[in-house]
Amino acid sequence: MQRLQTRAQFQAVLAGSTVARTPHFALHRCALEGPAHAGEAAAALFVPPATWLGAMVPKRWARRAVTRNAIKRQVYNVSARFEAQLPQAAFVVRLRSGFDRKSFPSASSVALKAAVRAELEQLFERLAGRPGAAP
């Protein structure tokens, strides 16, 4: 699985459709083949053709760098487990709301990591369960 690196790659994926949501995360997808104008633009950004993944954890929803990095690590670890079930496309996992600091007072607690992991697994299972999601 390749990781998204450039701003243009992230923007291309975010311009695509949202394929799955949970209370805290959204999963965006950009197909690498398909309609003429979208497929050609994506093909230039995503070489070699493979499954691409990026994680967006804005400061707005996770103030501390420790928390942002812990969430990103969870995104990449969980996605590695689902890699075989994901189609050749580019994906971005975006944090769309914050975790309650009263429930998780530590910036990088075991409880926070477990909650993030459970929600990410739910997110990827929703994508894997969609018709036409398998390669």
CATH number at residue 110: 3.30.230.10
Q: What angle do CA 68, 116, 9 make, to 5 degrees?
A: 55
Q: Is residue 57 part of a domain?
A: yes
> CB burial class (10 A; 0-12, 13-18, 19+) of residue 50?
middle
Average pLDDT, the chain: 86
Residue numbers of the domain that contains 22:
2-128
Q: Answer whether residue 115 is part of any domain.
A: yes
Domain assignment of residue 135, yes or no: no
Give the span between the Cα atoms of 95 and 29, in whole angstroms: 15
Q: Taking residues 26-32, report their average pLDDT.
A: 90
State pLDDT tens for residues 35-91: 544 556 666 788 888 899 999 999 999 989 999 999 999 999 999 999 888 888 899
Strands (E), 33-80: 52-56
Specify if 97 maps to a domain: yes
Q: Is residue 134 part of a domain?
A: no
**Residue 33 near residue 39, CB atoms below 8 Å:** yes
Question: How large a percentage of the chain has pLDDT more than 90?
Answer: 56
**Alpha carbon 71 to chain centroid distance?**
11
Query: Does the residue 123 lie in any domain?
Result: yes
Report yes or no on whether pTM surpasses 0.75: yes
133 within a domain of the structure (yes/no): no
Quote the number of domains for the chain: 1
Integer CA distances (angstroms), 16 to 9, 31, 42, in order: 11, 8, 10
105-132 pLDDT tens trace: 888 889 999 999 999 999 999 887 764 4
